[in-house]
Structure 1
Amino acid sequence: MALFNRDPVRNEDLGNWKRIASGGFGVVYKARHNKWCSDVAIKLLNLDDRSILLLEKALYNEATQMEKVSSDFVLRVSGIYKGCPPIKGMSVQQGIVTPLMRKGSIENLQTDFPDPLPWPLVFRLAHEVALGMTFLHSKDVLHHDLKPSNVLLDDDLRVKLADFGLSRTSVSALSSSQETQAETGGSYKYMPPEAFNLSYKPRRAFDIYSYGILLWSIINGEEPYPGKIFIHVKLSIETGQRPRVDTLSQKNVDGMKEIINLMQRCWDADPSKRPPFTDCIKVTEKSFSKHKSGIREAVYKVVTKLESETSAPDYLNSPTPEESFDSVDHPAPAAQEQTSAKTVSQQSTKTVSQQSTQTMTEEDKANFVDDNMAVLIQDTDMVMAITEEIKKLVHGEAYSRINAKQTNQDKMRVLYEGPLRSGGKRVKAAFYDALKKHQPDLVERLSG
């Protein structure tokens, strides 16, 4: 039965909504499906970004493509949501329902895990992404937005490719009239040089280039071109500059030489010289085979560490005042929301006010930020100055998104939903220190 002919998932099927991520075309929520007795993820359209008709077309495309390419390494679509989500003033919307990936994404793993990833896991991630991409291309589907945040992980840290908001049927199966510039977007740090040309039409070589940069990111555990804004990254890519591999070449790791060679072939400036994913798999499979015997121990080590680390952000289970909803039937009016925020602030800062901020631990500072976030979003005026203070802890791409927002409230929302949420107590503590430096009266008010 076709996906859109099935009964949709409606409000009465769901409870305990919680916002967990945002970006691209929409916002992702965690919710409990009462009939399925399991947690699900719901991706809703981003109404502020584009016209509703264009976004609905993108959602239908994404859901249809996800159903078409069902694979062990591609996120499965469970259904289509239709209803009024728990957001004040929101009208009837549609969204994609998928299984909930509790371990987040490779991006979360890079942020949350304090140590370098064990090599067996690094090589398996590289191999499983290649397997998933090979399957997509075999179905004439491009991902077109391959990056760490779109590679989700299940409880065993197995790869699930996600976010097909920018994916499309390959141009080999489409007429030129179906090519539109609106669908050639993507994260610029993972875009090939030819894609910066406005007349560019999507090709498989786009994904292969992105995979090369993703390989570098997985191995290094960080984002490429750190701290650079769009125009600088664009210039670097177009002039042939790529992430440095000299330090990788010095690592005495079986299979590393072959992987480095592969990533350099993938990000070649000439699209015709980039290898197809069927060739990539031969390299990644061989490299992973050298470390396969240690994969169980590696996964156990990482999962155990993630679950025991107090700094690891529990973004699926710790709702913030503005983002947790027990019901979608009774949205709070604006005045009530403000009162609730103040009440939360007053209650949550009692323990903070009883001690000197000079003796506050990192955890105390992080709790202060979480407990007062509703007020901080409204009252923080020096957002960019604070962001500059913690710039070393903020990815360049996130910094650019924050800087692009027009109001302080919007800047704070992006800062919280991105770096603060994913960075754990270390980043929140650094934010607290910067806030105290630039807006001491606000800190004193919330602590008093």
Structure 2
Amino acid sequence: MALLSHTTEQVGCESLEKWEPIGSGGFGHVYKARHKDWGFDVAVKLLRDDVGYHSSTLMPKEKALYEEVNHMDKASCEFVLRVYGICEGILPFGGLSMQKGIVMEFMGRGSVQALLTKLSGPPPWPLAFRFAHQVALGMNFLHSRNLMHHDLKPSNVLLNDDLNAKLADFGLSRVSTSASNSKRETTGEVGGTYKYMPPEAFEASYEPVRAFDRYSYGILLWSIVTGKEPYPLANWSLVALKIPEGQRPCCEEINQSKAEGLKELVDLMKMCWDKNPSKRPTFKECLKVTENVFSEHKNGIHAAVHQVLRRLESPTNYQHSNTSMPFSSSPQTPEQSKSHDTVDHVILQNMERSPTQESVSVSIKTMSDTDKAKFVDDNRAVLIQDVSEVMAIVDDLGDMVHSETYSVIEAKQTSQEKMRVLFRRTFRSGGVTAKAVFYDVLKTHQPKLVERLGG
């Protein structure tokens, strides 16, 4: 393969301005920059400073950079990050040495991993199912072009402003048999990748094949559905020992009745992480499942995206009680009641299933947070008197209710006493945002009460 297609554009560093660092890795650093002539932002991936530049030779990482450009060029489609060209020149910062990098499409919402962290849990079901489908579409296209990703994980699935997903980093971060030695572990070059590696990849003689990506996709599905990192406390050695023995992320906490199609997606997840590589479904086979599942929730995607963006853009978001304000709580475990369902999952599921709740969802989209907070303030006395499902509502508020406050509420004997504590401790400190989320939850649990009060 040629090192660089003749159609790939050379982008001079002097044509880029307003550089901002947005990420880094074993390969180097990623910057956001504005192209002076094109008029829009791009992402620029640069090699690390310790990689020299010589016009007559190609050093290993520089060669990998060219290979990634060729791979991205070959895999260009709607679900793979677009590459604009090679950046070469002297940067406006960092000395006088020549730099090389890839100029790529800028994804304004970061990665799926960053989103899960910000939301403190999984996204609404329509969005989760769309992520699953779009990643499968991108991977199917890669495999149809005889390309492999080798580093499929949430941080390598990027999101645009509308929260559509695209695959990135399938060149410089490629996993190979050398990923399993201790040096790579101690240097951190692999990062969290080993948690997405199949059992056969921990063998010294392993040669990567497409079944590697299929396994990684199964673990990625688990992360999307649960909003969690697999094996958060396990180091390389423990994962390398237990995964070949058959251990996988726990699925018991996933309530498969929470959403239409979730059972089918969980079944697909388990097939993808099968110990036997030959039993893992191809991405073409995965698409039959993901397309059907997403079609069940397609009508709810606009509301899901709107709610996520509203939470991300809220000026008071993630500032309550020194913890991330929840977009969603952890998935339900067998020991938890259904009250641990996420606010937005409950709303969005009901939008599709119940005519009564569908009208509820319309008011959620049209009422501002200020209006919702005013409703709660104006009806304080009645709400304290008449709200009956207090603990279910408190559970849906998640981390918005401090753990100490939760214990105080739980200890109270009557619903009225519980509601007084909620008003005094949570709504007073949480302000408009807390009251607005309470309104949404209340409308899900007790719609008739809200309707009677004119909400």
Assess same fold via TM > 0.5: yes
Q: 1:200 aligns with which of 196, 206, 214?
A: 206
Q: Distance in 2 between matches of 1:86 and 1:181?
A: 38
Contact map agreement 1:143 1:166 (CA 8 A) in 2: no
Q: Distance in 1 between matches of 2:250 and 2:196?
A: 15
SS in 2 for 1:227: coil
Deviations 1:41-92 (A, max 9, x none): 0001134489971001110110001011111000000111001234534621
Q: Distance in 2 between matches of 1:66 and 1:36?
A: 21
SS in 1 for 2:243: helix
Q: Gaps (5+ residues) in structure 1?
A: 169-178, 314-359, 364-425, 427-448
SS in 1 for 2:23: strand
Report the equivalent of 2:59. Answer: 53
Q: 1:160 aligns with which of 161, 166, 175?
A: 166
Report the equivalent of 1:38. Answer: 40
- Structure scoring higher RCO (CA < 8 A, sep ≥ 6) equals 1
Q: Distance in 1 between matches of 2:31 and 2:258?
A: 42
Q: Distance in 2 between matches of 1:115 and 1:280?
A: 24
Q: Distance in 2 between matches of 1:122 and 1:50?
A: 42
Q: Is 1:287 the counterpart of 2:293 in the alignment?
A: yes
CA distance 1:279–1:6, change in 2 (3 Å): closer
CA distance 1:223–1:93, change in 2 (3 Å): same
Query: Greater Rg, structure 1 or structure 2?
Result: 2
- 2:236 maps to a residue whose letter is F
Q: Is 1:141 the counterpart of 2:147 in the alignment?
A: yes
Contact map agreement 1:4 1:80 (CA 8 A) in 2: no
- 2:142 maps to a residue whose letter is L
- 1:151 maps to a residue whose letter is V
Alignment of 1:7-406 (within 5 A): 7-48=9-50, 53-89=59-95, 91-114=97-120, 116-166=122-172, 181=177, 187-311=193-317
Deviation at residue 289 of structure 1 after TM alignment = 1.2
- 2:35 maps to a residue whose letter is H
Q: Gaps (5+ residues) in structure 2?
A: 185-189, 324-398, 400-455
TM-score by length of 2: 0.63
SS in 2 for 1:243: coil
Number of residue pairs matched? 308
Deviations 1:376-404 (A, max 9, x none): xxxxxxxxxxxxxxxxxxxxxxxxxxxxx
Deviations 1:218-237 (A, max 9, x none): 00111100122111122121
SS in 2 for 1:66: helix
Contact map agreement 1:3 1:79 (CA 8 A) in 2: no
Deviations 1:84-118 (A, max 9, x none): 23453462121100121110010110011245411
Deviations 1:121-141 (A, max 9, x none): 010100110010000000000
Q: Distance in 1 between matches of 2:134 and 2:170?
A: 17
Contact map agreement 1:141 1:167 (CA 8 A) in 2: no
Percent of paired sites with the same residue: 54
CA distance 1:8–1:290, change in 2 (3 Å): same
Q: Distance in 1 between matches of 2:252 and 2:30?
A: 38
Report the equivalent of 1:415. Answer: none
CA distance 1:183–1:241, change in 2 (3 Å): closer
SS in 2 for 1:73: coil
Deviations 1:199-256 (A, max 9, x none): 1111000000000000000001111001221111221212110000011145432111
SS in 2 for 1:41: strand
Q: Distance in 2 between matches of 1:236 and 1:194?
A: 12
Report the equivalent of 1:401. Answer: none
SS in 2 for 1:141: coil
TM-score by length of 1: 0.64
